[in-house]
Amino acid sequence: MLILDRNWRCRWGEIDIVGMLGSELVICEVKTRMGHGHGSPLEAITPTKRKRLHRLGELWLAQREGNNDRVRIDAIGISISPATGEYNIHHAQGI
């Protein structure tokens, strides 16, 4: 994947990573959690958040006068063990 932007912000929110994979614009949300007290990182990405990310992707494109019918929302969840510092990374495509 070609990374086009990181931590892009506008008044309606932030996109952690914007990339292109072939002809698809990929909007990627990154969530990190220490332990499992509040659930997994990916559980924090609600349907409302997914909808907002899709809209932010459209705004990102409009700002660059771009046009792309294929926008995909991905998520990367990082779980860190507080005891050992070990981590697990999960990449969910097309959430």
pLDDT at position 68: 66
Domain ranges of the chain: 2-92
Q: Quick one: fold of 2-92?
A: Trna Endonuclease; Chain: A, domain 1 (3.40.1350)
Measuring CA to CA, how many Å separate 92 from each of 43, 62, 65, 76?
Answer: 11, 26, 28, 6
**Pair 19, 4: CB distance under 8 Å:** yes
pLDDT string in tens for the chain (95-residue length): 899 999 999 999 999 999 998 888 899 999 988 866 677 888 888 899 989 998 898 889 888 876 666 888 999 999 888 888 898 999 999 98
